[in-house]
Amino acid sequence: MFNEPLLAAMLAWFIAQAAKLVTELIKTRDFEIEIMFASGGMPSSHSSTVVALATAIGRMEGIDSGLFALAVVFATIVMYDATGVRQAVGFQARLLNDYFKGIKHETPLLNELVGHTPFQVIVGALLGLAVGLFFPM
């Protein structure tokens, strides 16, 4: 009746983002709902989402299906991109923010929390695996 892989992916994303919100609340004692829609940080919600999707597809269609192969390749690309290109973008944003600080703006112009460390991606992937395995089908 429902699209279980899609629901598993959405649940994994929500859990990862909620974990970031709770962590920030504990660290700063400040509730910022915007964190639910921000990228970067621990755990990687990108990784948790695509791994939950691939895992749920594997459970439903079988790990020998073409759809599962497509989901695994998609997940691999997303996780590689999170630690490669997107992390480099965050580094460049930090450099540019430092350059412009005090010249024109005191507040950062660019989002520095764009990419992920490999550890953040691994934790996100493990979260997605758990959601995909234990999501009721």
Asked whether the CA dihedral 121, 126, 129, 134 is positive or negative, the reply is: negative
Domain around 14:
4-134
Could you give the 3-state DSSP secondary structure of residue 97?
helix
The 10s digit of each residue's pLDDT in 42-78 is 889 899 999 999 999 999 999 999 999 999 999 999 9
Q: b or e along 103-130 (b: 16 or more beta carbons within 10 Å of the residue's beta carbon)? A: eeeeeeeeebebbbeeebbbbbbebbbb
pLDDT range class, residue 127, cuts 50, 70, 90:
very high
Residue 113 is given by DSSP the state: -
The 10s digit of each residue's pLDDT in 69-116 is 999 999 999 998 888 776 666 677 777 767 777 666 666 655 556 567
**Total Cβ atoms within 10 A of residue 63:** 12
Question: Of 116 and 134, which is predicted with more confidence?
Answer: 134
Indicate the number of domains in the chain: 1
Question: Of 61 and 41, which is predicted with more confidence?
Answer: 61
